[in-house]
A and B are shown apart, each in its own frame.
Chain A
Amino acid sequence: MSTDLYRWADQLQLGTDIDNPVMPFLRQDRIPHIWCPGCGIGTTVNCFARALTESGLDLDKVAIVSGIGCTGRVAGYMNLDSFHTTHGRAIPFATGLKLANPDLKVVVYSGDGDLFAIGGNHFIHAARRNMDIMVVCVNNFTYGMTGGQVAPTTPLGPSQTTMPYGNFEPSFNLPFLADACGAVYVARWTVYHVKQLAKAMQEGLKKKGFVFIEALSPCPTLYSRRNRLGDGVDQLKYYKEKSVQKNGVDTKELALGFQEEIIVGKFVDRERPTWLESMNEHFSRVLGTRYQPWGVTHAED
Chain B
Amino acid sequence: MVEKKEVFVQGNIACAEGALYAGCSFFAGYPITPSTEVAEHMSEELPKRGGAFIQMEDEIASSIAIQGAAWAGKKVMTVTSGPGLSLMMEHVGLAAFTETPCVFVDVQRGGPSTGLPTLPGQADMMQVKWGSHGDYEPIALAPNSPQECFDLMIKAFNLAEIYRVPVFFMMDEVVGHMTERVQIPPAEEIQVVERRWSSKPPGQYRPYEVGEDLVPDMVKAGDGYRIHITGLTHDERGYPAMNPTAHDRLVRRIHEKIRRHADALVDIREDGIEGAEVAVVSFGITSRVAAAAVELARQRGLKVGHLRLIITWPFPGRRIAEVARHVKGIVVPELNMGQVVLEVERAVAGRVPVHSVPHAGGTVHEPEVILEKILEAAR
Contact = CB atoms under 8 A, between A and B. Distances in A.
A89 B226 contact: no
Given A100-B69, A100-B74, A291-B47, A84 B221 contact: no
A99 interface: yes
Contact of A101 (B47, B54, B73, B224): B73
A283 B53 CA distance: 12
Given A75-B228, A81-B222, A96 B66 contact: yes
B272 to A, nearest CB: 46
Contacts of B231: 84-86
B48 interface: yes
A95 B68 CA distance: 7
A150 B321 CA distance: 54
Given A92-B65, A100-B69, A63 B54 contact: no
A133 to B, nearest CB: 10
Nearest to A276: B52
A27 interface: yes
Contact of A97 (B54, B91, B221, B224): B221
A243 interface: no
Which of under 10, 10 to 19, 20 to 34, or 35 or more describes the interface residues of B?
35 or more
Give chain B's interface secondary structure class. mixed
Interface in B15-62: 26, 28, 47-52, 54, 56-58, 60-62
B47 A82 contact: no
B64 interface: yes
A287 interface: yes
Interface residues of A, number: 43
Nearest to B93: A86
Contact of B65 (A83, A93, A287): A93
A80 B56 CA distance: 26
A119 to B, nearest CB: 9
Among A59, A89, A104, A121, chain B packs the most CB atoms within 10 A around the CB of A89
Contact of B64 (A59, A92, A294): A92
A76 B231 CA distance: 11
A101 B239 contact: no
A86 B94 contact: yes
B48 A92 contact: no
Nearest to A76: B228
B228 A82 contact: yes
A287 B53 CA distance: 15
Given A75-B228, A95-B54, A96-B28, A86 B64 contact: yes
Contacts of B240: 76, 84
A34 to B, nearest CB: 9
Among A29, A80, A294, A295, chain B packs the most CB atoms within 10 A around the CB of A294
A125 interface: yes
Contacts of A81: 221-222, 225-227
Contacts of B90: 86
Interface of A: 27, 29-30, 59-61, 63, 65, 75-76, 79-86, 89, 91-101, 103-104, 121-122, 125, 279, 283, 287, 290-292, 294-295
Interface of B: 26, 28, 47-52, 54, 56-58, 60-62, 64-74, 76, 90-91, 94, 220-232, 237, 239-240
